[in-house]
Structure formats: C-alpha cells, structure tokens
Amino acid sequence: MGRSDPEEILPPASVKPPDGGWGWIVLLGCFVITGFSYAFPKAVSVYFKELMRDFHVGYSDTAWISSIMLAMLYGTGPVSSIMVNQFGCRPVMLVGGLLASAGMILASFTTNIIELYLTAGMLTGLGMALNFQPSLIMLGTYFDKRRPLANGLAAAGSPVFLSALSPLGQVLLEKFGWRGGFLIMGGLLLNCCTCGAVMRPLEAGMKRKMERVQDKYEAKEMLPIGDKAEEAISTTDGAKSKKTKKKQPRKGKKLLDFSIFSNRGFVIYSIAKFILVLGLFVPPILLVNYAKDIGVPDTEAAFLLSIIGFIDIFARPSCGMLAGTKWMRPHIAYLFSFAMLFNGLTDIFSARANNYTALVIFCIFFGISYGMVGALQFEVLMAIVGSQKFSSAIGLVLLIEACAVLIGPPSAGRLVDAFKNYAVIFYMAGSEVVVSSLFLGMATFCCLNQGKKPPQPEKTPSAGGGSDTEEAESDVQEVEDHAGDNHHLSHSTSTAVIIDSDAANHVAEDRSADGVEQPAGEGAMPAPGEGDSGQTVERESF
C-alpha cells in the first residue's frame, strides 16, 4: 500500500460535494460499516455461554471480548486518522476489512480465552476501527446540504444490523457451533472490503481532466490538423503537468492535526461527549437484568432491547431530516443538546419503574432519544471542524470516548454489586447525561455570542457572523462564477482567433496563387504559446 497523492486523500475546498449521485452508494457503504461496527460487539454475546462451557471461564471473562472490540473501535481513532491522512480512505478501509475478517476466522481456531482476546477482540476491533472512521469521512465529503439526513440514514445501520445479527448468530450457533459461527461471521465481515472499494475519492482530478479535454478541444480548433497540432497539445499538457508537480510539495499534510484543540467549539464538544458516554450506554446494558430482578420473565425482558432497536431504526433518519431543515440546521448544536437532555431525563424518570408496562414506556422514549443522539453526534462534529479537519477530529474524539467507555459501564456494574439497587444506577447515568447536555448548550451559547459580536460593526465580506462552512461555500461560489465568466470570455477570444486564422489562410493562398514568395513566418498560424498568452492577458485584465 503505497502513499497516495495528498490531493486524493481529502478533497480541496474548491471541490463542492455533489449531495447525491455516487454519494448514495457511499451512504450505503457507510450504512453497512456503521452497522457492523456498533452491532457486531453486541451480537457476539450470543456465543458467550458456549465459550464459558468450552473454556471453563466466567461471564466476566467472556464479556471482555466485546469490551476489547469497543475499546479498539474507540481507542485506535488517532491511528486510523494518521493512516487516512497518509494513504487515503479507500486503502485503509480495504485493509481494515481484511483485518476484521481475519480476526474472526482465526478466532474459530483458538484453544483458550487469551487467544480470543487477541483475535476476535483486538484484531477484529482494529479492523472495524479502520473501516468506521474513514466511512464517516467519505460521507462528509460527498454530502453538505443533505449531510444531516445522510448521517441519520448511516447511523440507522446500527439498530438494523443489531436486530439482524443477533438472531443470525443464534441460528449459526445451533447449526454449526460457535466455531462455525465465528467462521461464517468472518466471511460476512469481508463485505467491509466491498464497502471500502466503493469509497471513490472526491478529488480535483476530475476537474483537471475536464480542463485537459477542454484545452485539447480548443487547440484542435485553433490549429490545422497535422503534426504541429499534436506537438502543441503535448506541449500544453507537459507544461500543465510540470506546474502540478511543482505545486504538490507545498501541500504537505499533517499525520494528526492537533491544531483543532485551538477551536473552542471542538474542546466544548469533546468535554460534553466524554461526560455523555459515561452514562449513555449504562441503561441498555443493565436493562435486561433490571427487568429480571423485578420479576419480568426472561423472554419478555429480552424483548425490551428489541423495542429500543425498533424505535431507534426510525428515530435516526427522522432526526436527520429534522436537522437538515433550513430553520434547524444553524442551531444543530442546540438540537443535539436537547436530545441529550431528553435521554437523561428519560433515565431519571424511569428509575422507579417497577412493572413491565413502565419499562416498555421507558424503552420507547429511550429509543427515540438514543436515536436522536446517534444521528446528531457526528453531524455536530462535522459542523464544528469542517470536512478538512474531520479526519483528525474524529480520531481524537473517539480516543476520548474510549476512556469514558472503560470508566462508565464497569463503574456502574460495581455500584450494582455494592448497593444491589438499579435505581441508583439509573439516577447516576441520567444525571451524567443531563450535565453533559447543559454544559454543551450553555458553553455553545456563550461561545457563539463571543464569536458573533466583534465582526458585526465591520462591513467586510468575511464578517457576516456566519460559520466557517458558509463563508467557504460563498467563496467557492464566487470562484465558480468568476471562472464561468472567464470561460465565456476565453471562448469568445478563441472564436476571434479562429476567424483571424481563417483570414490569414486566405491571404496566404492568394499570395501563393500570384507567385509571390512569402517571407518566413509571415501569414503563419501563431504558436500555441502566443494564443495562450493573448487569452492570459485578457483573463488577467478581466
């Protein structure tokens, strides 16, 4: 895997996201990758009882397989960012798909629990991490105006795959055993390579190809057919390629951009996300055991998670559509804060639920709020840092989340063992989520006020009080309009040159008919450089 051209890793600011087209295929690939990344560590728990019996270990020992997968998914974020910045998204995703598949295939041949930690835990977790992060980066490069909807649809892959992989794992366990199930699951993970293959980089190369085609077309019209035309075209292409090679060394890209910590919005988001993750995953982890303790049958207790997943499937795309509206998108950070507040209050108000009906109501509201949080979390981060720095930002955020994941759920489990009271855990988890919501909302409000007040008195184009993304879009639009005007001007100039060249050819024919010897260079077509210089002068004066 060689190093890619830096321009192919992330699109330059002048390349506008298509908001459709091939982007829908990229969205489908991101849907599949998100589903595997979030649902696979939970679906593996179907095999835990068989692993406990074969390896003579306890439940906590087998639970470490899922914990290691999640820790690798979150903790290796900076590693994934460095590889994406170095090689590009598509090569990293292809390697990640191979690693994830190889981990599960090797796990089917293990003979002890430690080997499972290294294969199914670390290797598969690393492979999924190398797929998950680049897929989000590519989604952000292909969508801009429809990005909230795209993020919501991609995030829906988590509940969809969770509801599909868990029953599939049970069927595979009954027919082929846990070893055969791991082997087949490894084969399914090869689909990550297919998803990585469709992640075509949105680059300026398409723009350069169009320019070369246009230049060749103009040169063929301006020059007579023959060897001189071919030489002129090759000379033009050679000159442009030399200019491109000279510009490339100046576009060096950092492996991991720590300058994003100077962005106050990113710092606020990171702190809020750390507090959020401390309590966000605790209720669904303890819900089934909580229901069993209050006398709910095992089958009905397990069905509670299916209710959350079913509601989550519809909540994420719906929230994405809401966040993409004109009146809501400028305030998407506050919508994210509301979703977190909704989730935290749901935990707190349901702490005293003592019957199955109350738990079903809790699952409905938790599924809605959890889906809103899942649909908005990465969209808010993209809006804060922009697509150019998103690869580094998401890697650092996932590393911060990894620390919270390793602290929150294990601490909740110890508190349950100590107090034997699930209500305390729900109060604690809900309070952490509410605190993160209030911190994000208040800090964002204060920073927005500080960022908007200074530019208002100045009447400069960049002081409109808008976001960096809106300013970049306006700059891109101005460049495109200016380029369009230049194109019309250059087209009229080339037409005039063609007319002059035809007149010169007629004069040359009349002189040759009269038998007058023509001086060298007189009446000949201008060289390609002369025509280009004339167009350059007119473009510069324009």
Interval 359-394: pLDDT, tens: 999 999 999 999 999 899 988 998 888 878 888 888
What's residue 61's pLDDT?
80
Under 8 Å between Cβ of 138 and 11: no
275 shares its domain with 156: no
pLDDT at position 91 over 60: yes
To the nearest 10 degrees (0 to 180), the angle between helices 528-541 and 468-514 is 140
Cα–Cα dist 169/162, whole Å: 10
Residue 216 and residue 264 share a domain: no
Domain ends where: 197, 220, 243? 220
In a domain, 10, yes or no: no
Domain-located, residue 466: no
Residue 216 and residue 272 in one domain: no
pLDDT range class, residue 271, cuts 50, 70, 90 = very high
Q: 273 and 169, same structural domain?
A: no
Report the number of distinct structural domains present in the chain.
2
Q: Using alpha carbons, list the distances in angstroms from residue 326 to 463, 477, 540.
A: 21, 19, 38
* pLDDT beyond 90 at 188: yes
Same domain (yes/no): 161, 28: yes
DSSP state of 455: T
Unique residue bearing structure tokens 């991101």: 30
pLDDT: is 239 or 87 the higher one?
87
CA–CA separation, 113 and 111 (whole Å) = 7
The predicted model gives 125-140 an average pLDDT of: 90
d(CA 14, CA 473): 9
Last residue of a domain, one of 415, 433, 449: 449
Calculate the dihedral angle through the C-alpha atoms of 339, 341, 347, 353, rounding to the nearest 10 degrees: -100
Determine, yes or no, domain membership for 463: no
3-state DSSP helix/strand/coil % of the chain, to nearest 5: 80, 0, 20
The parent domain of residue 311 ranges over 257-449
Position 436 confidence tier, pLDDT thresholds 50, 70, 90: very high
308 lies in the same domain as 202: no
Q: Which residues of 146-178 are buried (b: 16+ CB within 10 A; e: fewer)?
A: bbbbbbbbbbbbbbbbbbebbebbeebbeeeeb
Return the pLDDT at 127: 94
Q: Can you tell me the mean pLDDT for 345-353? A: 90
Residue in 407, 374, 384, 405 with CA at minimum distance from that of residue 74 = 405
Q: Is the pLDDT score of 106 beyond 90?
A: yes
270 and 214, same domain (yes or no)? no
pLDDT confidence band for 270 (50 / 70 / 90): very high
Residue 146: inside a domain: yes
Same domain, 274 and 418: yes
State the CB neighbour count (10 A cutoff) for residue 273. Answer: 22
CA distances from 483 to 211, 413, 478, 490, 506 (A): 12, 62, 8, 10, 35
Predicted pLDDT of residue 376: 92
Q: Give the DSSP H/E element, type plus range, for residue 350.
A: none
User: What pLDDT is recorded for position 191?
Assistant: 93
- DSSP H helices in 108-156: 113-116, 124-142, 147-155
CA neighbor of 168 nearest in space, from 49, 40, 327: 40
pLDDT for the residue 361: 94
Same domain, 317 and 394: yes
User: Domain for residue 517, yes or no?
Assistant: no
pLDDT of residue 500: 46
Residue range 123-127: average pLDDT? 93
Please calculate the CA angle 82-146-397 and round it to the nearest 5 degrees.
Answer: 30
**Residues 464-473, mean pLDDT to the nearest whole number:** 44
The pTM of this model reads 0.65
* 467 belongs to a structural domain: no
398: number of Cβ within 10 Å:
22
Q: Which residue has the tokens 């950092």?
A: 254
Using alpha carbons, list the distances in angstroms from residue 474 to 219, 387, 461, 479, 522. 33, 16, 10, 9, 48
Q: Looking at residue 215, what is its pLDDT?
A: 56
- In this structure, the answer to whether residues 212 and 270 fall within a common structural domain is no
Of 337, 369, 339, nearest to 437 by C-alpha is 337
Poorest-pLDDT segment among 91-105, 322-336, 437-451? 437-451
Residues 66 and 196 in one domain: yes
- 64 plus 188 within the same structural domain: yes
What local confidence, expressed as pLDDT, does residue 64 receive? 82
Please give the torsion angle defined by the CA atoms of residues 41, 44, 45 and 50, in that order, rounded to the nearest 10 degrees: -150
Is 6 inside any structural domain?
A: no
Question: What value does the mean pLDDT of the chain take?
Answer: 76
Lowest-pLDDT range of 44-53, 190-199, 339-348, 445-454 = 445-454
Q: What is the distance between the alpha carbons of residues 220 and 13, in angstroms, rounded to a whole number?
A: 32
Domain of 297, CATH number, reads: 1.20.1250.20
In a domain? residue 144: yes
Q: Which residue, of 192, 220, 248, is where some domain finishes?
A: 220
Return the minimum-mean-pLDDT range out of 75-79, 332-336, 479-483, 527-531. Answer: 527-531
Q: Please report the pLDDT score of residue 206 as a whole number.
A: 52
